[in-house]
C-alpha cells in the first residue's frame, strides 16, 4: 500500500512538473509571438506611411517644383522601403533596417516641412493639410507600436534570463532581442511635423 502511495505521488509530481514546463513554454511562446506581432504592426504602419509619399510629392511638386532634391529623396526612400519589405514573397526586412529607413524618412519629412514654410499656399492646401494630418497620425501609431514592441522584448528578455524560464529558453536556444531604439537626432521630428497644422 505504501508503495502505491509513493508511486502515485511520484506520478502526480511528474505530471505536475510536466504541466509546469508546458505552462512556461506556452508563456514564452506568447511573449515571443507578441514581438513578432509588434514587428509586423510596425512594418504595416511604416508601409502605409511610405505609401503616402507619392501623394505628398505630387502635391508639393505643384507648389514647389524647383525643390526637386527633397522630393526625389522621399521617392527614393519609398522605393527602397518597398524593395526591402518583400523579397521573393517573404518579409525580408529586419527591425534594424526598418529603423534606419524610418530615420531617413523622418529627416526628409523634416526638410520638406522646413521648405514648405516658404510656401504659404502649399501649407494652406487642403490636400497637403490632410496628408500632413495622416502622416502625423501614422507617426503616433508607429510610436505606440514601438512601445508595445519594446515592452514585449523587455518581457521576453526578462523571462529568458530568469529561472526557471531560462532553462527552457536555453533548451530552445532563445536569444536576447534588441529594443527598438530611435535615433536621437530624429526623436522630435513627429512633433515638428505635427506643429504646423
80-123 pLDDT per residue, tens:
887 777 654 555 567 777 778 888 888 888 877 777 777 777 77
DSSP letters for the chain: -HHHHHHHHHHHHHHHHHHHHHHHHHHHHHHHHHHHHHHHHHHHHHHHHHHTHHHHHHHHHHH-TT-HHHHHHHHHHHHHHHHHHEETTEE---HHHHHHHHHHHHHHHHHHHHHHTT-HHHHH-HHHHHHHHHHHHHHHHHHHHHHHHHHHHHHHHHHHTSTTHHHHHHHTT----------GGGTTHHHHHHTT-
Residues with pLDDT less than 70, the chain: 64-68, 86-93, 182-197
Radius of gyration of the chain (CA): 24
CB 101 within 8 A of CB 74: no
Phi-psi region of 118 (alpha: psi -120 to 50; beta: other; left: phi over 0): alpha
Q: What's the confidence (pLDDT) of residue 25?
A: 94
Domain locations along the chain: 29-194
CATH 1.20.120.1770 fits 29-194, yes or no: no
pLDDT of 189: 40
φ, ψ at 87 (rounded to 5°)? -140, 110
Amino acid at each position: 500500500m505504501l508503495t502505491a502511495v509513493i508511486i502515485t505521488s511520484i506520478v502526480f509530481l511528474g505530471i505536475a512538473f510536466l504541466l509546469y514546463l508546458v505552462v512556461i513554454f506556452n508563456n514564452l511562446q506568447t511573449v515571443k509571438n507578441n514581438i513578432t506581432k509588434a514587428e509586423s504592426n510596425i512594418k504595416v504602419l511604416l508601409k502605409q506611411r511610405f505609401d503616402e509619399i507619392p501623394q505628398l510629392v505630387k502635391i508639393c511638386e505643384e507648389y514647389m517644383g524647383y525643390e526637386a532634391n527633397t522630393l526625389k529623396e522621399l521617392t527614393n526612400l519609398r522605393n527602397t522601403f518597398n524593395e526591402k519589405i518583400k523579397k521573393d514573397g517573404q518579409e525580408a526586412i529586419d527591425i534594424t533596417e526598418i529603423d534606419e529607413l524610418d530615420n531617413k524618412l523622418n529627416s526628409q519629412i523634416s526638410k520638406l516641412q522646413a521648405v514648405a514654410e516658404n510656401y504659404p499656399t502649399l501649407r494652406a492646401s487642403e490636400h497637403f493639410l490632410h496628408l500632413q494630418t495622416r502622416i502625423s497620425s501614422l507617426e503616433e501609431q508607429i510610436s505606440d507600436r514601438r512601445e508595445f514592441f519594446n515592452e514585449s522584448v523587455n518581457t521576453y528578455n526578462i523571462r529568458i534570463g530568469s529561472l526557471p524560464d531560462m532553462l527552457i529558453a536555453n533548451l530552445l536556444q532563445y536569444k536576447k532581442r534588441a529594443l527598438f531604439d530611435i535615433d536621437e537626432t530624429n526623436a522630435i521630428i513627429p512633433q515638428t511635423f505635427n506643429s504646423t497644422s
